[in-house]
Amino acid sequence: MFSKLLALFIGVPLIEVLILIKLGEVMGFWNTILLVIGTGVAGAYLAKLYGLTIWYDIQRDLSMGQMPSDKLMDGLLVLVGGIVLLTPGLLTDILGLALLFPGTRFFFKQWLRQRMAVMAENQQTSFFINH
């Protein structure tokens, strides 16, 4: 697990830097900077918009006595999408936007549900707190 995280934290930023360098050569330095800032601002706005919508949906479900498990998963994915959008880079922006929009978020929810079902089936859902 540690090696996967290490590869992720080293590999993704390295790929992002290479893409931004190439994009800077094609679009120019300032246009690339504006693109990165623009996607960050747009992503933050969309994350807030979708996050508030989901928050109100959760409150509505709870007031009706329903468990909002589907909306909680939506909220988690929107939160992760917003965080990913704040990191500079185009790959992370694409992933972040995919997590924000309901149509593409559906596929991530399906994957997450399947992953959680496998973890429950294999009894990998224990949490340990070290003191």
With tokens 């790929």, the residue in question is 15
**How many structural domains is the chain composed of?**
1
Confirm whether 84 is domain-assigned: yes
* 103 has a pLDDT exceeding 70: yes
Once rounded to an integer, what is the mean pLDDT over residues 110-131? 75
Q: Rounded to whole angstroms, how far apart are CA atoms 97 and 42? A: 10
Give the residue numbers spanning the domain of 47: 36-121
Q: Are 44 and 83 in contact (CB under 8 A)?
A: no
68 secondary structure, DSSP code = -
Confirm whether 68 is domain-assigned: yes
Confirm whether 27 is domain-assigned: no
Q: Rounded to whole angstroms, how far apart are CA atoms 20 and 28? A: 10
What's this model's pTM, rounded to 2 decimal places? 0.78
Mean per-residue pLDDT over the chain, rounded: 88
Residue 128 banded pLDDT, cuts 50, 70, 90 = low
Confirm whether 8 is domain-assigned: no
Residue 2 banded pLDDT, cuts 50, 70, 90 = confident
